[in-house]
Amino acid sequence: MEKTIKIPEGIEVFVESSKVKVKGKLGELERDFYNKGTANILKIEKSEKDIKVSSNLENKRGKALIGTTTAHILNLFKGVISGYKYKLKIVYTHFPISIEQKENEIFIKNFLGQKGSRKVKVPLDVKVEIKKDELTITGINKEIVGQTAASLEGATKLCKKDRRRFQDGIFIFEKGIGNI
């Protein structure tokens, strides 16, 4: 069982056993698909204009491995071509939330009137832009950008409070491919 992916124009791809390295106009990404359980099942090969992902299993598991691997490779392509963008909204009804960015950390202050601040680390590959009540997170690695947005949303998660009454927090409202 196999699947072939065409390499888009303007992208250089290097395949070395189970590592895939992609270079594009926005940067360079690398992903290692090595897994002890799938090392001798999954095979990634590069020809001139395409990448072939194959499996020696002819069942659901083989098909799933091929589908997952090709999806990750396509995400690498999209990342180095146009990048990823997440938009978050700061919502408050009781106390105005203020957000500060210092180096690679974001501080969330005055959440529900709390004295202390909540802190979220931002990876170096990710760029965060703060405008009034909106945050824009951009980067070329889909997983890191998504995890940063999820960490910001999770930092203001409410426990043991009625969500219908306490609607304060930071929420993801838009995600997708963005022109960085």
Give me the amino acid identity at 144. I
Per-residue pLDDT at 20: 95
133 and 62 part of one domain: no
* Residue range 43-68, pLDDT digits in tens: 999 998 999 999 998 999 999 999 99
Model-level pTM? Answer: 0.88
77 and 135 part of one domain: no
User: What is the tally of structural domains in the chain?
Assistant: 2
Among 81, 97, 117, residue at a domain's last position: 81
Per-residue pLDDT at 180: 63
- Cβ(104)–Cβ(121) below 8 Å: yes
Among 50, 81, 112, residue at a domain's last position: 81
Strand (E) or helix (H) holding 39: none
Nearest Cα neighbor of 156 from 174, 133, 140 is 133
Domain that includes residue 133, residue range: 84-177
Per-residue pLDDT at 167: 82
Strand (E) or helix (H) holding 8: none
CATH number at residue 128: 3.90.930.12
114 and 164 part of one domain: yes
10-residue averages of pLDDT along the chain (180 residues): 93 92 94 88 91 92 93 96 95 90 93 90 94 94 95 90 83 86
Q: For the sheet with 127-131, list strands across it.
A: 127-131, 134-139, 84-91, 169-177
Among 26, 57, 81, residue at a domain's last position: 81
